[in-house]
Structures are given as C-alpha cells and as structure tokens.
Structure 1
Amino acid sequence: MTLARILTVDDSASIRLTINVTLSNAGYSVVEAGDGAEGLAAAQQDVFDLIITDLNMPGMDGLQMIEAIRKQPIGAGVPIIFLSTESDGDVKAQAKAAGATGWLTKPFDPETLIKIVRKVIGR
C-alpha cells in the first residue's frame, strides 16, 4: 500500500515541522507549503489524500486557498482540515462554507491529529 500523501500549509515553520514529524512517524508522506499561494500551487501540481491548512497566513490565507482549490477538478474530493488558533463559531462556519472538512485548534495534541487524519482519510 502506498503512503497517504498529506499537504500541510502553514506560515509557521515550527508548526509545519511538528505536523511533518508527527505524521511522518505515523507512516504518512508529508509535503510542506509556507502559505496559501504555495499550498495552492502544490495542490495543482500533485495529488494529495488530505490537506491540512492554517487560517491566518500572509498573502493568500487558508480560506482563500480552500475556495481556489474547491473550484478546480483537483480539489473536488480532497478532505481539508483547518488547523488554527481561531475557534470562533463564525470563522468555523466560513471555513465550512469554503469547503473545509474539519477543524483542529492550535496548540494541538499530536495523537489527536493522527486520530483525525486516520478518521478523515480512512488509513
């Protein structure tokens, strides 16, 4: 079985590293992007089983990236999880409307992240 491929998009290098180490150790293949524009470009160039994105980033934020991905054939069925310090109900509603599959609040527990990933992608 091939490794599930996960794109993680966050402007914080330390958060990207934490996600990468956590998911790599759990047997996933992880690709990193530093902002929404990089994340969109990566999603257009490769196939991912899951995208995990921050909300607040310079340039293109997570909501804008999700909306752009969802408008393209490549983004139709890809689950997208928001990983953000935001926990406001209105922001969550905007994320869901944009096409987010789920939400995890920072700081996150690595075990919780792995459980969510397994649940969302089924492996």
Structure 2
Amino acid sequence: MLAMERIGYILGVFAALVAVIYGFWNEWSEPIGVVCLVVTALLGFMIAGYLNITRRKLDGVPPEDDPLGEISDIAGDYGFFSPYSWWPLWLGVSCALIFLGLAIGWWVVALGALFVIPALVGWVFEYWKGPHAL
C-alpha cells in the first residue's frame, strides 16, 4: 500500500509540474489543458491521501508492505460474482446505445434509457427470487 501511495504522490507532483510548464509554454492562452492537468494532479493526490489514511488506520504493517510476507497473507474473500448472468451484457448494450445517442440524436438516448432501466433492475434483483435466490 505504501508503494501505491507513493505512486499517487508522484503522479500528482508530475501532473502539477507539467500543468505549470504547459501554462507557461502557451502563455496561459489555452486553459483546457491546464485544467485537465490540474485535475489529474488533484486525483493523484486524492488517491495517495486515501491510501495514506487507510494505511494509518491499519494495525501493524499491511501484508503487501511486509518484505518477509507470503502471498497467502493477502488472500481473502473477494465477494460474490454471478457465474452465468446475462444482465451485464444487456446493461452494457443499453449504455452503449445511450452513448451512441449522444452522437447521433436524443431519440436514441431515450430508446437506450428504455432498455437500461429493465436491465439494471434485472441485474440488481437477479438473486431476489427464483431458483438462484440467495
């Protein structure tokens, strides 16, 4: 976790320096690039800050920072994943239709929204009833 925190700080400092250099290079006449680089710097600092706070709350050395640690020290439960769910496919197709509608026309966005709502509800409540209920 300490290495990831350092990478976040390095990304933040690098993006901030590049934002200043980029601003001076084009004499602050093009603000979009500077804004994007500043936001990238802030996101790098945000990730590093979150990892710093999380690392300080843990007791002792996290397993990934222990030089004598074993791979099995990090093992744990990653959660429950559906083995054969079709709902993410329909949700992805619906979202692609919505984003395609942003380029083509608003009527395609409305059509995609009609498909995304049942796909999202179906995915959320997939294990609510039926043979695979939890």
TM-score class, shorter-chain normalisation, is under 0.3
- After TM superposition, the score normalised by the length of structure 2 is 0.19
When you count helix as a share of all residues, which structure comes out higher?
A: 2
Provide the TM-score with structure 1 as the length reference: 0.20
Larger radius of gyration: 2
Higher relative contact order (CA 8 A, sep 6+): 1
